[in-house]
Each structure stands twice: as structure tokens, then as C-alpha cells.
A and B are shown apart, each in its own frame.
Chain A
């Protein structure tokens, strides 16, 4: 029922991309985004697309899975595209009421839309190939230098991983509760807005109750195992860069150079 949420969903399979260190993937995503914004002209976008598609190919995640993640930004995309088309000054191509669509606007909008789509797809590749735990681990390590200026990096990372860990649990719980109420004759599909909102109560109340129960249980279990924050805490699986990470970084570096180089062609 609620299975269409792609962001933050891990696609379990075995591929070279899955095996990379989460820090490499985080950096890779950053570099990819930077490259998208630092390039110019059609050639740059073609290279960006080739790079993205080959990464997707290597990651063994079906393309349809990644495209599904785009659904979330359709509206945002439409709004920004139409703003760009109608509000960029230049040569007028057609006119709807007082809104003038310009040639420059269409070009800018097309570039911007491609950029946005690539950006979302690129970050989806990262979240689909990295387990949430690895991801927060990577973030914690990569942002470790912030500890020096008293940013509680570990605590923030822990909160993030707990929050991420709870998403699938709560989705499953919602599914269960919905089914249980449907077995009691509840109807979530028909009726107007008010009736539909009202029909959410039998789901939301048990869901909140269970979320609180799980949260206290978890806090209890953490305390029982003497959790007391990041100070002096060691890891069971410390993150170590491997050979493939070095290769990945080199490829990323070359790619970034090409993208920046294309600006000057």
C-alpha cells in the first residue's frame, strides 16, 4: 500500500557501488552535484547523463526504481520550469494572456529541469545503494572535524540513524494497523475529505501509541547497554578506505575535471 516511497529506501543487491565506503558515495554525490552546477552547454549535460547512467548500470538498481523517486519532485519541477519559461526576458516565442514565453526562458528551463532531475537521480543512487546505517556512519566520520567546534556530531548521527531505522518499522506498523481496522470494516477509500480525515484516527492513535512504546523500549535497551553518547565510543566495524574507493575517487576526479573543462570549449 505505502510502498512507493523511494527516498531512504535501500535496494539490497550486490554490486561494486554497494561495496564502496559510504564516505566515497557521499563525496561522489557531492562531486556530481557540483559538476552539474559548474558545467555549461549541452556537452556537459550529455557527459553528466552518461556518467549517471553508467553508475546506475554498475549499481544494478533497476532504472524504473530510480525514476520512481522523481515523482516526489514533479510539482516542484513544473513550478520552476514555468517560472523560468515565462519570467526570463528575451525573444518572445508565444504568449498566453500576459505571460510571455521566451526562447531564452525555454533553454534555461530545460537546463534547469535536467539539472534537477539528475540531481535527484544521483542522490537516489546513493540512498538506494547505501544502508541508512552506513550512511549515517559515513556522515559521522566525514563530519567528525566539526566536533572540534563542539558540534555533537555523534549524537546527531545517532538520532538520524534511529529516525531512519524507524521509517520502515512505522510503515510496516501502519500497514498492519490499517489491515486490522479494515478487518473490522473500516473504509479508507470512499467519502469526502472530512470523512477520510476522520477515518485516519483509528490508524493514527495506535500508530502514535506504538511509536512511543518503541521509543521507550529503545531508550531502555540503549541504557541497559550503557550507552552514554559518543565520548570514547569505538565501532564494531570502523570505516576503512579500500582499493576500490581509491579507484572511485580517481574516476570522480577525472570526471569533475572533464566537466569543468567543458566550460571552456
Chain B
């Protein structure tokens, strides 16, 4: 199970006065079970890139393979691809339309042409996954809070039981609690349900905490692709393209400059705490 992109180019407004090269010769492979963080400043082409994964936009040139099959082949079923590769857009709550929460979540499975029983079953499971109990089923999605709406919308995609879930800034505009809830839910989906996750985010901390692999986009190209430790060790270059490393990376680098013998490949708060305490204890003993 994998998605493979080969030399993807996408140009917006090819016939206007100023065409925009949104992705420029992007080649990468997303393997089964990965948790990938996708970073890039606004306009770096990441939102365009993720729409290629489920065939919503066709590349101007280049090929996309899902499990080895070219998705632009005539006999390739887009519907099936979109079921397997779930895409949650930015502000997904803007796509809610049904009268009740439950009906809205049923929309996806209904489009797959399943039986009524199966549809209901999947909707229930999806709503349970995002932590909404039965008391929400009959409520209107428009009267919920922002965080709850977003969960309903994510459930709408989860109800199709995707194998790969792509989320475009799922925490944008949420309060800290709502953010943590959504992120731990995504982490749960990855660990327990073995869903491959591609998380687009601006928050370095979120990505450092959860992702196993980070892809950094700049001007439509892949700038870095590696583990968080590898990518964040380039923190100076990241700053140049309008990004940054997690704050703890800066702290350990500063400590190093002040003469501490500290491991600078630290990306999460937890690691930093351990490392600093370890060094602190050693100091006392001297």
C-alpha cells in the first residue's frame, strides 16, 4: 500500500497573463502506516499537492500511482480512490449541509452505495472515533461549537473508512483544548486503526510531537524530506523559507552555545526535559 508521485507539476491559470507554478517536479512516496507531517509557508504548494493524492486535481504533467496503479488510467476508479484516500480540507465544517449530525456523517458512505445498515454502522463508528456520543446524533450541525463541528466533518470522512487520511491544518482556528483533542484523536487513529496520516500544519510543535517523517515544501518543491530530527537540524534554512523549528530546538541550541554538552537533535518537550534534567544532575554531582 503506497502512494507514489512522480515528477508532479501543476500550473494554475495556464491561459492567463500570470500562470502560477504551484508544484514543481515533486516526486515522493508515502508508505503504508506512516505519519507524515507536511510543512510549508502559505503559497508553498502544499494544499495543491494534497489534492493530487485523491485525484481531485490532475497534474499538468507527471504520474501518480496508488498501489502501483496509475490513477489517470481510464479504468481506474476515482470513487474507490477517494474512499481509500480520505481528504479533510481546511475548515472542513464549511462543508456540512444536512439537517442532523448523523445524516451528514452518512453522506460519504451513502455515496459509496452501501446498504442502509452498513451506512448507519459506519457513521456510528466514525462518530465514536471522534468522540461524539449518541446525544449529538439528532442535533443540527449548525448549532454545535467550532470544535464539535470540525469533529463532525472529520467523522464524515472517517465514515468512508479510508486507509490514508490527509488533514489540511485540522487545528486551525481552534482553542488549545480543541487542538489537543483533535491531535490526540488523529494520533489514536494512526496507532490503533493503523491509518496512514498526512498532516498539514503550521505548528512545528504539533508536527514534532506526532510525525515520524516531515516533508517541507518551498516554492512548489520538496525542500526537505526526513525524520523530524534530520529536518529540524536545518532550522536555520527553515527560517529562511518562513518556517521555524520547535522552540525546544532553539533552547537546546542556545544551551549548547553557552557551553552545555547537550544533544541538539531534540524536537519535543519531553525529550528536552529528560536531557536537561540528566545534565543538571550530572552537574550537581561534580
The interface residues of chain B lying within 8 Å CB-to-CB of A201 are 97
- A206 touches which one: B17, B86, B97 (CB < 8 A)? B97
The interface residues of chain B lying within 8 Å CB-to-CB of A62 are 15
Smallest CB gap from A64: residue in B: B15
B37 on interface, CB distance cutoff 8 Å: no
Smallest CB gap from B159: residue in A: A184
Asked if residues B112 and A185 are in contact (CB atoms below 8 Å), the reply is yes
Asked if residues B111 and A13 are in contact (CB atoms below 8 Å), the reply is no
Q: Which B138-161 residues have a C-beta within 8 angstroms of A?
A: 142, 156-157, 160
- B89 touches which one: A64, A65, A183, A210 (CB < 8 A)? A183
B92 on interface, CB distance cutoff 8 Å: yes
The interface residues of chain B lying within 8 Å CB-to-CB of A195 are none
Instruction: Report 10 cross-chain contacts, Cβ distance below 8 Å, ordered by A residue.
Output: A12-B16, A176-B89, A177-B95, A182-B56, A182-B82, A183-B54, A185-B79, A187-B79, A206-B97, A209-B94
A11 on interface, CB distance cutoff 8 Å: yes
The interface residues of chain B lying within 8 Å CB-to-CB of A13 are 17-18
Asked if residues B142 and A187 are in contact (CB atoms below 8 Å), the reply is no
B136 on interface, CB distance cutoff 8 Å: no
The interface residues of chain A lying within 8 Å CB-to-CB of B111 are 184-187
Give the CA-CA distance A60 to B17 in the complex, in Å: 9
Asked if residues A184 and B79 are in contact (CB atoms below 8 Å), the reply is no
How many chain B residues touch A (Cβ–Cβ < 8 Å)? 27
Q: Which A40-68 residues have a C-beta within 8 angstroms of B?
A: 60, 62, 64-65
The interface residues of chain B lying within 8 Å CB-to-CB of A64 are 15
Smallest CB gap from B89: residue in A: A180
Asked if residues B107 and A184 are in contact (CB atoms below 8 Å), the reply is yes
A179 on interface, CB distance cutoff 8 Å: yes
How many chain A residues touch B (Cβ–Cβ < 8 Å)? 25
Most buried by B among A13, A62, A182, A183: A183
The interface residues of chain B lying within 8 Å CB-to-CB of A176 are 89, 94
What is the minimal beta-carbon distance from B105 to any residue of chain A, in angstroms? 10
- A210 touches which one: B16, B94, B108 (CB < 8 A)? B94
The interface residues of chain B lying within 8 Å CB-to-CB of A181 are 95, 107
Give the CA-CA distance A62 to B160 in the complex, in Å: 45
Give the CA-CA distance A187 to B89 in the complex, in Å: 18
A202 on interface, CB distance cutoff 8 Å: yes
CB-defined interface of A171-205 with B at 8 Å, one 1/0 digit per residue? 00100110111111111000000000000011001
Most buried by A among B16, B54, B79: B16
Give the CA-CA distance A153 to B187 in the complex, in Å: 57
Smallest CB gap from B88: residue in A: A183
B51 on interface, CB distance cutoff 8 Å: yes
B264 on interface, CB distance cutoff 8 Å: no
The interface residues of chain B lying within 8 Å CB-to-CB of A11 are 16-17
Most buried by A among B51, B94, B108, B157: B94
Asked if residues B157 and A206 are in contact (CB atoms below 8 Å), the reply is no
What is the minimal beta-carbon distance from B87 to any residue of chain A, in angstroms? 4
In the A-B complex, list the 3 residue pairs whose CB atoms are closest, starting with the nearest: A185-B111, A205-B97, A180-B95
B83 on interface, CB distance cutoff 8 Å: yes
Most buried by B among A12, A180, A185, A201: A185
Smallest CB gap from A205: residue in B: B97
The interface residues of chain A lying within 8 Å CB-to-CB of B88 are 183
Extra A-B contacts (18), CB below 8 Å, given A185-B83, A202-B107, A206-B96: A11-B17, A176-B89, A177-B94, A177-B95, A179-B89, A182-B56, A182-B82, A183-B54, A183-B56, A184-B82, A184-B157, A185-B79, A185-B107, A185-B112, A185-B160, A206-B95, A206-B97, A209-B94
